[in-house]
Amino acid sequence: MNSTEYRGKIKRVLITKEEIDSKIAEVGADISREYEGKPLLIVSILKGAFVFMADLCRAVDIPCEIGFMCAQSYYNGTSSSGIVNITMDLAQDISKYHVIIAEDIIDTGRTLADVIKLLKARNPLSLKVVTLLDKPDRRLVDLKADRSLFTIPDLFVIGYGLDCGEMYRNLPYIAEYDPEGQAEK
Ligand code: IMP
Ligand code: MG
């Protein structure tokens, strides 16, 4: 794929870098206030949330640790099986931390529901979910983030860590993906 083909699939920018930055600054300040004096661990599930995590943790100005996990969830029909395959686990013993999961997007909610179940079983001091994007129209499990930065309609989005076929994670904004998009002339 060349650059013009790449750009041709970007239908429109949904959320600009400036809009993302300003929301993250707000959430970072709130987290800093709420968790002051508490052992805080911010966890993200690779790969989609890596850009959000990088910006969010720098908007937090209290001491905190970060952790990454790789997780694949198994589904039976439309319900979550509760079986999640962790291909890379956290290094920290989370029973010693207040944990915030920083997620890229909640779509059906199945993966995150399984990860929450797994992490709760490890008895963290507390567990909250902050998601950059929420697509509530697509939800298949009963799951609501404690904080959602942007609610979006049922569109496939790319950029700011989110991919389509492993591409577009490096776009600095969130865009709608156009599968029919042609190379720019
Ligand atoms: P779930 O359906 O909520 O389990 O979503 C799991 C994962 O699918 C998310 O963490 C994303 O990595 C990916 N995903 C869901 N919707 C989109 C989208 O619109 N663009 C890119 N990735 C998505
Ligand atoms: Mg994800």
**Atom 15, ligand 1: residue with shortest CA distance:** 107
Please choose from 107, 143, 170 the residue to mutate so as to test ligand 1's pocket, defined by most ligand atoms within 8 A of CB.
107
Which atom of ligand 1 lies nearest, measured to the CA of 106?
A: 3
Q: Residue 60: helix, strand or coil by DSSP?
A: coil
pLDDT single digits (tens) 60-107: 999 999 999 998 766 655 555 667 788 999 999 999 999 999 999 999
pLDDT single digits (tens) 126-153: 999 999 999 999 898 999 999 999 999 9
**Atom 9, ligand 1: residue with shortest CA distance:** 105
163-170: long-range contacts, CB 8 A cutoff, minimum separation 24: 163/47, 163/48, 164/9, 167/1, 167/6, 168/6, 168/9, 168/10, 169/47, 169/48, 169/50, 169/51
Is the Cβ–Cβ distance between 177 and 1 less than 8 Å?
no
Catalytic residues: 107
Which tokens in the block code for residue 141?
Answer: 């499990």
Which atom of ligand 1 lies nearest, measured to the CA of 109?
A: 3
Which tokens in the block code for residue 79?
Answer: 């319900």
Domains and CATH numbers, the chain: 16-152 (3.40.50.2020)
Helices 17-34 and 50-59, interaxial angle, to 10°?
50
CA of 82 to the centre of ligand 2 (A): 16
pTM above 0.85, yes or no: yes
Q: Which of 32, 133, 115 is nearest to 67 (CA)?
A: 115
